[in-house]
Amino acid sequence: MSKKSAGSFIGGLLLGSAIGTLTGLLIAPRTGRDTRQLLKKSADALPELAEDLSTSVQLQADRLSESALRSWDGTLARLREAIAAGVEASQRESIELKQSRAEVATQSHPSVPDHQL
């Protein structure tokens, strides 16, 4: 199970537990006094449940942030490599183009021998 789905599962489990407890208490065949006591206990546990859920969400957000940062670093490194390769290829092409222009100029304007002048 991935870390992301584990956090979602834990969050869903906690939320489902709270809803199930509340629903069970409301439809349970108990006296009003017993039900109120159970509701009070459940209500007292809600802050702790909310804190656990908040911690779980924060941990998942931190993991996601770290993962995105690692991914960004890798992408940035590949981009730098690609730019360096492009600059190098552009420089090679420029040199080759200058050489071919020089060859064309030499072929189209042959030098005149000195004895013909």
pLDDT tens digits, the chain, 117 residues: what are they? Answer: 566 677 778 778 888 888 887 787 677 776 778 877 877 887 788 888 888 888 888 888 888 888 888 888 889 999 999 999 999 999 999 999 998 888 888 887 655 555 555
Domain-embedded: residue 39: yes
CA distance 20 to 115: 109
Domain-embedded: residue 113: no
What is the number of domains present in the chain?
Answer: 1
Domain holding 15, by residue range, is 3-107
Give me 81's structure tokens.
């490599």
Contacts of 35 (CB under 8 A, 6+ apart): 25, 26, 28
Domain-embedded: residue 115: no
Please choose, from the candidates 95, 86, 116, 9, the residue with its C-alpha nearest in 3D space to the C-alpha of residue 53: 9
Q: pTM of the entire structure? A: 0.41
Domain-embedded: residue 112: no
